[in-house]
Structure 1
Amino acid sequence: MGEFDLISRYFHRPARRSPLGVGDDCALLAPAPGQQLAVSSDMLVEGRHFLSTVDPARLGHKALAVNLSDLAACGARPLAFTLALSLPSANEAWLAGFSRGLLALADEHACELVGGDTTRGPLNICITVFGEVPAGRALLRSGARAGDDLWVSGTLGDARLALEGFRGTLALDGDVFAAARQRMETPTPRVALGQALRGIASSAIDISDGLLGDLRHVLQASGVGATLETARALPLLAAGPAACGEDWALTCVLAGGDDYELAFTAPSSARAEVEAAGAASATPVTRIGRIEAEPGLRLLDGQGRALQRGFAGFDHFT
């Protein structure tokens, strides 16, 4: 099977929204009047972002989900995406599964595949996603203000728990491992929540490198600090501390990475609106701290005492 047969069989779809789609040298995207384009790229590399044993359908889902999560963090509606795919070989069974998972999630969010590239090489997946958001209403990292509440969506730490299970660092119950693995391999992009938070949240970021590491980006961009109550955050591990012990549970929740949930801030007067946005998007939201004028990030234990442990977020080069 040649390159163009591969594209035609597994990735060609007629475009419904853009004037030009797959088959031309460029896709032409025109946001609706009064909208801005939101654009993000992410790369997944075998051995770095996913294991060679991952089910290809789950990998296809995750490849697009991590990009949709970036749109969610800006409050944007998905429009289209491009796919650049490096493959060791044209394995038809793998391609069938990968494209099935990828395109199922694309259909769920009405996000069209409008171009890309394929080549032979180490397995590497790069997606660029395009969305639209009303002009001037995008959620940014720079809007957090002293007095705001700090919130997160969904559960945290599941992917890190699964990773430690794969590594053999933690001996996990079979059901716990299976559930954590599913969260690691098929994250849920919080697109509906991101849009529901427009005009309510003051800042937002998606949690890809660990809650603390990503939260620091918000604090730096906004010129503020924060206090995080670990007793509120600890129950966010779906399996609970009993699955791995409190120390590991804290590590997973605060510095795990690969969660693709949203961390966001909002004025304390908007608590009811935040909870309504969560309910409207069928997404659990949890208040875990507050934004303060004093720079830095402070962690408090269940008794309100400063937590002395250090937690490092994920960094590809450290």
Structure 2
Amino acid sequence: MSGEFSLIDKYFAHKQQSRKDVVLAQGDDCAIVAPSNGSHIAISTDTLVSGTHFLADADPAHIAHKALASNISDLVAMGASPAWVSMGISLPEMNASWLERFSSAFFKLADYYGIQLIGGDTTRGPLTITLTVQGLVPEGKALTRHGAESGDWIYVTGKLGDAKAGLDVILEKNISGDRELNSELQRRHFEATPRVLAGLALRDIASSAIDISDGLISDLGHILKRSNVGARLNVAELPFSDELVRFVGGTEAAQQYALTSGEEYELCFTVPEANRGQLEVALSTTPFTCIGRSPGLVS
């Protein structure tokens, strides 16, 4: 076990500057943090397992990005600012080159979003990564799934479908004759970007929100169920890339990918009529599209 601890200490301990709200990080039985007054702490835990969420021979840098980005996206969907993360990692063997690529990519993304690794655990076993992320949101400002109301407009950020296309390439379910296109879609699958600024900007505008990790239809369904409202979608307005159209061979197929593609880390959110005018300013750096409206209460 001492060899495992020395590798983890080498690749994960003391790799970041400490946040001002971190009192005690790695090295003790628990980490200690000091959230600012007036803030609530949003917490999310997610596990990625080799063979289920990624292939065993996947690039460890891609695995690290996917693991952390997916968790940050959960915070973003609640309007929380990323702050801290704990990691449990199981490895079949202590592979120094694997850890080097994984940890480098992990800290690159963590530093970009100002999130600090404050603790965790390691053990020998099947390749598994479990992250618990925590973020800060002002009291009463958290975005939830249950706030949508009759008449709210439905929006998504970014473009949808590329992640599913990239996964098709990875699993060799569908491969284009264009190698550059295949490579680009794979990159978009692995390096999807959580919409942190958009999530923060929507705190006082959106009535509900969720990140698109299981597909638009599925994730919007969570909002509709929790809010007890229905939805009418304009499929013709779904945003997707030119690359996706080329890959699947047409607009209709691209629409189906946009409806079902998961792991996009884009946001789906609802906005009351009175707040629509604020979106252009609030999301000035984030592309967004209105794709429908809630028609009324579900009987």
Q: TM-score, normalised by structure 2?
A: 0.94
Whole-Å separation in 2 of the counterparts to 1:8 and 1:219: 45
Partner of 1:191: 196
One of 19, 27, 31 as aligned partner of 1:23: 27
What is the one-letter code of the residue matched to 1:9?
Answer: K
Q: How far does the alpha carbon of each residue in 1:108-152 deviate from its partner, in whole angstroms, 9 at most, with x for none?
A: 111110000000111100000010100010000011111111000
Partner of 1:7: 8
Partner of 2:119: 115
Whole-Å separation in 1 of the counterparts to 2:32 and 2:181: 45
1:294 Cα deviation from its structure 2 partner: 4.4
Whole-Å separation in 2 of the counterparts to 1:30 and 1:167: 44
Whole-Å separation in 2 of the counterparts to 1:284 and 1:31: 32
Q: Tell me the SS of whatever aligns to 1:65.
A: helix
Q: Tell me the SS of whatever aligns to 1:150.
A: strand
Change in Cα spacing, 1:79 to 1:205, as seen in structure 2 (3 Å) is: same
Tell whether the 8 Å contact from 2:152 to 2:273 is kept in structure 1 after alignment. yes
- Give the share of equivalent positions with the same residue, in percent: 46
1:212 Cα deviation from its structure 2 partner: 0.4
Q: Tell me the SS of whatever aligns to 1:187.
A: coil
Partner of 1:204: 209
Q: Tell me the SS of whatever aligns to 2:193.
A: coil
1:163 Cα deviation from its structure 2 partner: 1.6
Runs of 4+ in 1 over 4 A off after TM superposition: none
Tell whether the 8 Å contact from 1:275 to 1:285 is kept in structure 2 after alignment. no
Alignment of 1:60-71 (within 5 A): 60-71=64-75
One of 225, 228, 253 as aligned partner of 1:223: 228
Change in Cα spacing, 1:33 to 1:238, as seen in structure 2 (3 Å) is: farther
Partner of 1:288: 291
What is the one-letter code of the residue matched to 2:149?
Answer: R
1:52 Cα deviation from its structure 2 partner: 2.5
Q: TM-score, normalised by structure 1?
A: 0.88
Q: Tell me the SS of whatever aligns to 2:23.
A: coil
In angstroms, what is the RMSD of aligned CA positions?
A: 1.6
Structure 2 segments unaligned to the other structure (5+ residues): none
Aligned residues: 293
Tell whether the 8 Å contact from 2:216 to 2:268 is kept in structure 1 after alignment. yes
Q: How far does the alpha carbon of each residue in 1:197-242 deviate from its partner, in whole angstroms, 9 at most, with x for none?
A: 1100110001110000010000011010001111101x42452423
